Amino acid sequence: MQKSGDAQRWLLLLFSLPTKQASQRVDVWRKLKRYGALPLPAAGYLLPCSPENWERFEWLAGTIRDYKGQASVAEVQRIDNLPAPLIAKLFREARGRDYDDLFRAIERAKKSGSAQRKLTAFKKRLNEITEIDYFDSPVRLRAEASLNSLNEPTMKTSTVKVRMKREFANRTWVTRPGPGIDRVSSAWLIRNFIDANAKFIFAEDAAEHPEAVPFDMFGSVGFGHQGDRCTFETLLLSFRIRSRGVAWIAEIVHDTDLADGKFGRTEGAAIEAILAGWRREGILDNEVLKRGMELVDGLYRSVKEQG
């Protein structure tokens, strides 16, 4: 979330293109729309100042120059006829319209019976809008609620046995060597929401450690994939863990581990690539697990700070 006070800095893109280059104009307009840039009444487009938005505008300015146009990117602290709170309000209203369009599309799909088929596309669109929702439009909650209702048929908790955290206090948990995103995230979930004193070991066969609790072990009791759920989701439902941040991570882990595009989440690909890189370097599983849990913790904290 960006600041809406007077200390907010802005990036301003000013450009012009030859009048005959209609297709190039459409291309630039689509990119500005994708970035969530705010058109100014007089001229130019505005974004909150951040390294990511600097890169976006500089890249687009270079593209405009390649199209034989003129472009400049400026950093400004004040616009005389548009105080910072008003600009923030205009950004929220713009994203509110995006969320409203998505909400109406979801509701129409529900009525036509096509909602489940379009679920992945709806998730992807929500992620795109949220990424450029710089000032937290309140309309997002309505779109999210409508979308989350589509998950209810596949997320019923009645098929998962409810477990009590006290049954798993001070336990050792065992999983397979070479931890990937599901096992790393599950270990993070266990340590932070089930048992702060949990210890983790690795084995090819859970029977080697009968006293340990297996998770994500092929063909063993314990906690693992169930139906279309990854291990992280099974743990989430088994222990009735309710948290917006954890639910968000569950979607990332699911899409990366099962690769079915159910939630339209792509963030986990980077984490999986990092874990794979560490494994290729010969880093021990315990260290990979520790580092990976720190990555997941960073993701979780970023969501808490936003919400």
Residue 160: per-residue pLDDT:
66
Phi, psi dihedral angles at 260 (to 5 degrees): -105, 0
Residue 7: per-residue pLDDT:
67
Task: Residue 296: name the closest of 274, 279, 281, 278 by CA.
Answer: 274
Domain spans, the chain: 10-82, 85-153, 165-306
Phi, psi dihedral angles at 206 (to 5 degrees): -60, -25
| Residue 67 CB partners (closer than 8 Å, separation 6+) | 17, 18, 21, 24, 28
Residue 235: per-residue pLDDT:
95
With a cut of 70, list the residues of the chain below it in pLDDT.
1-7, 151-160, 219-220, 304-307
Residue 207: per-residue pLDDT:
87
Give me the residue label for tokens 């009791």: 221
Residue 45: per-residue pLDDT:
97
Give the type of residue at 239: F
Residue 152: per-residue pLDDT:
46
Sign of the CA dihedral 238, 244, 245, 247? positive
**Cα-based distances in Å from 83 to 80, 86, 92, 224:** 7, 5, 15, 53
| CA–CA separation, 12 and 14 (whole Å) | 6
CB 29 within 8 A of CB 67: no
The alpha-helical segments, DSSP class H, found in 132-267 are: 140-148, 181-189, 231-238, 244-258
Q: Which architecture, in CATH terms, is 10-82?
A: 2-Layer Sandwich (3.30)
CB 71 within 8 A of CB 61: yes
Note the pTM of the prediction, 2 decimals.
0.55
